[in-house]
Amino acid sequence: MCGPRDAVGLLGGDRPVRRDDHVSPDSQRFIAERIPDAQLHIFPTDVASSHFPFLENPAAFNAVVDKFLS
């Protein structure tokens, strides 16, 4: 369970939901709205359009993670 000082970061890709998708960008938004002070980053489709932004665009993913951790 998260304590009052634990940071929560959520990442997702902003692409239209297809039938074979198992994670919608709306699911990350839904979760972020329910966690106090959660930080949400949705990658635009031209940056990373899959459920695996760390594989699709490592530089963009690492930049977001570095900013979150700093």
pLDDT at 63 over 90: yes
Task: Show me where the domains of the chain are located.
Answer: 9-14+23-69
Q: Which residue has the higher pLDDT, 7 or 16?
A: 7
Predicted confidence at residue 54, as pLDDT, reads 92
CB 50 within 8 A of CB 14: no
Task: Tell me how far apart the alpha carbons of residues 9 and 68 are, in angstroms, rounded to a whole number.
Answer: 7
Each residue's pLDDT tens digit, 21-45: 667 788 889 999 999 899 999 999 8
Predicted confidence at residue 16, as pLDDT, reads 65
Each residue's pLDDT tens digit, 40-56: 999 998 998 777 889 99
Residues 53-69 have a mean pLDDT of 93
Q: Tell me phi and psi for residue 64, to 5 degrees.
A: -70, -45
